[in-house]
Chains A and B, each alone.
Chain A
């Protein structure tokens, strides 16, 4: 089985994240880049499916040059090879253009299964997997906390408002995972060394037949008109419980008319 796992490099949530003042896109230089946490769960699930059913795991990343760190991390966990979609024309792409560029690349490299994390910590739109399914005409098996493959079918448990749905489809398919699905492995020393020798193919927009007029900040379908750093939350009151903490909390709730 040919599994492609999409991973994204995001600014570390532990550092301050900013928008650039010039083109109002994410300032990727202001913060350290790390692998999006949920992508580690996607990589882990891809590896487990490969271990159970055989095949190959390819990492696909769209992002600037420095996203190679993120690719190496996924390779060190055990993925076999990687495709890095990198081109200045892609800078500032929104969800629509990103899904277009990734779908074009996926069509080029081929897949039986595409796995993603359910959202990234930077943009948080949670739309990419659904958009890829739409563009690829493949079944959408998103928000999965369990994935099973057998008898030519793929079955997932999809997290819903009220619990979960059991969903069934045939391959090829697009899956997104939530963090309940597994516990990502740590790369071993051997894995880290091996990752350095694994093939990473670089794609520019021409290689993936991506139309330059459909990507990048200038062609985005939506735009940030202005932004401002939010005023910090006014510091609250913190009291130590002296045996009357509950009463004090009730006083506070009453002062705010909640009781």
Chain B
């Protein structure tokens, strides 16, 4: 069976959930082979990759790979595409994942599909476009299919694989090292799950009114084990860091439950959350467009409704 390469997303030596989702998908399409780019490969990582069915793990652990923007990862994958002739390459459809996919497509002269929400037989991808208005099936017509799959589109299911480690040495070209990362600045998320991976997201907008008042959004999020998100109005005002912006120019999220408090539902916000399975809205304006996509909406003041909901959840636990 041909290999399906899966580019591993990792942080602090641990594998992110989206990678487990991609491995689960890859098992249906061929033999999953994980690709670890950068330092930090550990027994914990190996254990996770094995648990979700990676038969092989290609490890390229040079720091050079992650100290430069995107290009080294594409070069690494291109060298594996050339030497292993995989049936497909899967990456996470995040802003950076899509950039890796784009460069890899150019390098390998292969077709690329982004924002897939599923991949089926014959490597046909499902996409949801125009803000969820149209469902599309697409396939790659030339080269090795490169498919970027949205986090949270498949439930990760364990199935043991060998996770046989194979070291890969890549000679990076000068152009792959052209954009150097000189410093990384982390914006804290506390102990909460990562925004794009969370099963539940609670977002606040301009209606929250201040940075301090985001505490009520955080408390609701914590009562549900959720991630916190924010609209552009809230991040522009400096009430919450930009890394938590949901929408066209922020993160695209697709959780089981999305709670929007004090957010009007501009098209740019909806572009980042419209595929959420269940949407709950709290807004004082009954005309707010966000109600059009709500499964359950409350017309009211979030300063009353949100704390009451948090207290009620605590009571029922």
Contact = CB atoms under 8 A, between A and B. Distances in A.
Contacts of B143: 221
A171 to B, nearest CB: 11
Contact of A258 (B180, B243, B257, B310): B257
A245 B106 contact: no
Interface in A187-237: 220-230, 233-234, 236-237
Nearest to B294: A236
Interface in A117-169: 118-119, 121-122, 124-131, 133-135, 137-143, 145, 157-169
Given A96-B106, A140-B69, A258-B257, A179 B249 contact: yes
A12 to B, nearest CB: 10
B76 to A, nearest CB: 14
Given A142-B99, A224-B138, A241 B313 contact: no
B59 interface: no
Contacts of B115: 124-125
Contacts of A230: 128, 132-135
Contact of B103 (A131, A143, A233): A131
Contact of A245 (B185, B256, B279, B308): B308
A167 B187 contact: no
A249 B305 contact: yes
Nearest to B278: A256
A72 to B, nearest CB: 24
Interface stretch (B19-27, B41-49, B295-303): B295-303
Secondary structure at chain A's binding surface: helix, strand, loop or mixed?
mixed
Contacts of B175: 137-139
B71 A133 contact: yes
Contacts of A250: 309, 312-313, 316
Given A236-B296, A245-B300, A134 B107 contact: yes
Contacts of B249: 38, 118-119, 178-180
A239 interface: yes
Contacts of A221: 105, 109-112, 140-143
Interface in B193-242: 194, 196, 200, 224, 232, 235-236, 241-242
Contacts of B179: 139-141, 167-169, 173
Residue of A128, A160, A166, A246 ringed by the most chain B CB atoms within 10 A: A246
B149 to A, nearest CB: 14
B181 interface: yes
B293 A233 contact: yes
B307 to A, nearest CB: 7
Nearest to B101: A127
Contacts of B178: 138-140, 169-170, 173
A238 to B, nearest CB: 4
Given A221-B105, A238-B297, A168 B139 contact: no
Residue of B182, B286, B308 ringed by the most chain A CB atoms within 10 A: B308
A52 interface: no
Nearest to A220: B141
Contacts, number: 285
Contact of B297 (A167, A169, A236, A256): A236
Interface in B118-174: 124, 128-143
B73 to A, nearest CB: 11
A246 B304 CA distance: 8
A124 B131 CA distance: 10
Nearest to A234: B295
B134 A228 contact: yes
Given A124-B248, A165-B185, A223-B141, 11 more contacts: A17-B133, A130-B102, A134-B107, A137-B175, A165-B183, A168-B179, A179-B249, A230-B128, A246-B308, A246-B312, A259-B317
Interface of A: 13-14, 16-19, 37-38, 94-96, 99, 118-119, 121-122, 124-131, 133-135, 137-143, 145, 157-170, 173, 178-180, 220-230, 233-234, 236-241, 243-250, 252-254, 256, 258-259
24 contacts: A119-B249, A121-B248, A124-B248, A126-B95, A127-B114, A131-B105, A141-B69, A143-B95, A160-B96, A160-B243, A164-B243, A166-B185, A169-B180, A221-B109, A223-B139, A229-B134, A236-B291, A240-B298, A245-B304, A245-B305, A246-B309, A247-B312, A249-B280, A253-B257
Interface of B: 11, 69-71, 74, 94-96, 98-103, 105-107, 109-115, 124, 128-143, 175, 178-187, 189, 194, 196, 200, 224, 232, 235-236, 241-243, 248-249, 256-257, 267-268, 271, 278-282, 286, 291, 293-301, 304-313, 316-317
